[in-house]
Amino acid sequence: MSSQSEVDRLRKEIQGLQQKIAGESAKVATSREKEASNRERASKASTASSASSRSKEADRQVKSAVAAEKRRAELEKKLAAKQKSLHTAEARLGKKRDEEQKRAIKTLQTRASAAERQFRPSHGELFSAPAAPSTPLAHDVFISHASEDKQAVARPLADLLIDRDVEVWYDDFTLTVGDSLRRSIDRGLAGSRFGVIILSPDFFRKEWPQAELDGLVAKQRASGAKVILPIWHRLTRTMFSQRVRRLRTSRS
């Protein structure tokens, strides 16, 4: 069982115990009220038989209240144990998340370093590159991503690249449903040397057509240089293959 599943299970069990404790407390209160009512009626009874009957009912309510209090005490004991287990499980989950976050940051740093090496021209390129275009490029790289991936990947990656003096443009290329992938990427590449595409389930969920992706590949092949750097996020090889097959099927 995963740490998150264990925490969810314990929270659910604690909620159930709290509801049961509340139910037993209600039973205690009801029995105490009935006891008091029957004691009062017994004291005002006009006959010995009626007084005896009311007293017996009051005694029965006392037993009922005591039994409910006992059950409540047992439930409270279980609740305390579950809360202790929850505290331990939450601490374990927090530690696991911290470790995952550190690994994610390390991965982003590695990707940023790789991107920096790719986006920055080599020593030879500084002297052998062709003449600059009439309109200077404003950025080294733009990051194309689904809006759902901005906080988790795009922004941290952009910050890491910026820290390494790489000019990054990504805010204006957050893709939402209805955007044209080809047009957005073309606009980004027009003002940047390279493009990073964050491939994720949310990215493919936008349902951009295969023709646009084909056009992007054709653009890269025509340029003779790799201008697109794909980054996989929450995407397995199997998921990627399934997405590609769906795109090809929708195209055919």
Query: Does 108 fall in a domain?
Result: no
CATH number of the domain where residue 233 is located:
3.40.50.10140
Alpha carbon 24 to its chain centroid, in Å, reads 37
Predicted local distance difference test score (pLDDT) of residue 35:
94
Burial label for 170, CB within 10 Å (0-12, 13-18, 19+), is buried
Residues 233, 141 share a domain: yes
Domain carrying residue 94: 3-103
Of residues 212 and 86, the one with the higher pLDDT is 86
Residue with tokens 């040397």: 193
74 flagged as catalytic:
no
CB 61 within 8 A of CB 53: no
Of residues 131 and 240, the one with the higher pLDDT is 240
Whether the per-residue pLDDT at 49 is higher than 80: the answer is yes
Residue with tokens 């331990």: 88
Q: By C-alpha distance, which of 14, 18, 21 is closest to 72?
A: 21
Mean pLDDT of 110-118: 63
Predicted local distance difference test score (pLDDT) of residue 60:
95
pLDDT tier, 221 (very low <50, low <70, confident <90, very high otherwise): low
Q: Point out the catalytic residue in the list 6, 13, 76, 212.
A: 212
Query: Does 110 fall in a domain?
Result: no
Q: Which of 7-11, 30-34, 48-52, 212-216 has the lowest mean pLDDT?
A: 212-216
CB 237 within 8 A of CB 188: no
Predicted local distance difference test score (pLDDT) of residue 158:
85
> Where does a domain end: 81, 103, 125?
103
Whether the per-residue pLDDT at 157 is higher than 80: the answer is yes
pLDDT tier, 72 (very low <50, low <70, confident <90, very high otherwise): very high
Considering the chain, what is the average pLDDT of its residues? 77
Instruction: State the total domains in the chain.
Output: 2
Query: Does 125 fall in a domain?
Result: no
Residues 91, 28 share a domain: yes
Task: Report d(CA 113, CA 125) in Å as an integer.
Answer: 19
Predicted local distance difference test score (pLDDT) of residue 29:
96
Residues 191, 243 share a domain: yes
